[in-house]
């Protein structure tokens, strides 16, 4: 009888402990937050922000348009109004939205209203899609970036918009080893991405604008 009582007590203790662990994991998961930004080529923005401590994931996709669930071909063809955008999921205990917005402005050319670097057109414009609770941090980051740069920043702070993830082909493009055919012959996606980024002049222009304040140029 004593052994049975002891077993029940131990079992109850294990169940309580497991419940606390599960609750802790759920609580932590619920603490994650997201921001959505558009900074030209979404491969590049995704690659940049997945380097930031506290960022759990960056997903390439589209935001700000008038078509539901657009395809990549629809968006790049034009007319849907979408931006190539990235949704960044982060742990606010490790990094703040304000810091992420500051990094964002210093990772793009926010003086260019016609696109980014070699990518031109409405799809590649910069923007921040902010909720009501994020707007103040986004506006403060924009004002700070403009004061630091000494030039007019044209990146708009827009309202929150529906975010549509791009298809799997475009996710984590910068680190995929699968082969694709390029004009230079077969290359892994990772190597094709590096060649594209250099040829497009992204890091060179960001470094020219921001100097040592550029967080990702050349990384």
Q: Which residues of 147-169 are buried (b: 16+ CB within 10 A; e: fewer)?
A: eebeeebebbbbeebebbebeee
Distances (CA, A) of 149 to 37, 105, 146, 152, 155: 20, 10, 5, 8, 13
Cα gap 207→90, rounded to integer Å: 26
φ, ψ dihedrals at 168, nearest 5°: -60, -25
- Nearest one of 45, 34, 62, 43 to 108, comparing CA atoms: 45
41 is catalytic: yes
Active site residues: 41
């Amino acid at each position: 009888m004593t052994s049975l009582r002891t077993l029940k007590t131990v079992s109850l203790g294990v169940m309580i402990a497991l419940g606390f662990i599960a609750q802790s994991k759920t609580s932590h998961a619920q603490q994650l937050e997201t921001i959505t930004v558009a900074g030209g080529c979404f491969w590049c923005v995704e690659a940049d922000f997945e380097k930031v401590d506290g960022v759990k994931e960056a997903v390439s996709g589209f935001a700000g348009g008038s078509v539901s669930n657009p395809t990549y071909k629809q968006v790049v063809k034009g007319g849907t109004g979408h931006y190539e955008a990235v949704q960044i999921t982060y742990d606010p205990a490790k990094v703040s939205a304000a810091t992420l917005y500051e990094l964002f402005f210093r990772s793009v050319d926010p003086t260019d209203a016609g696109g980014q670097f070699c990518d031109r057109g409405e799809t590649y414009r910069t923007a921040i899609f902010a909720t009501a609770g994020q707007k103040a941090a986004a506006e403060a980051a924009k004002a700070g970036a403009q004061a630091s740069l000494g030039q007019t920043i044209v990146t708009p702070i827009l309202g929150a918009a529906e975010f549509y993830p791009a298809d799997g082909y475009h996710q984590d493009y910068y680190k995929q080893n699968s082969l694709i055919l390029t004009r230079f012959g077969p290359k892994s996606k990772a190597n094709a991405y590096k060649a594209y980024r250099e040829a497009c002049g992204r890091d060179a222009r960001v470094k020219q604008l921001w100097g040592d304040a550029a967080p990702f140029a050349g990384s």
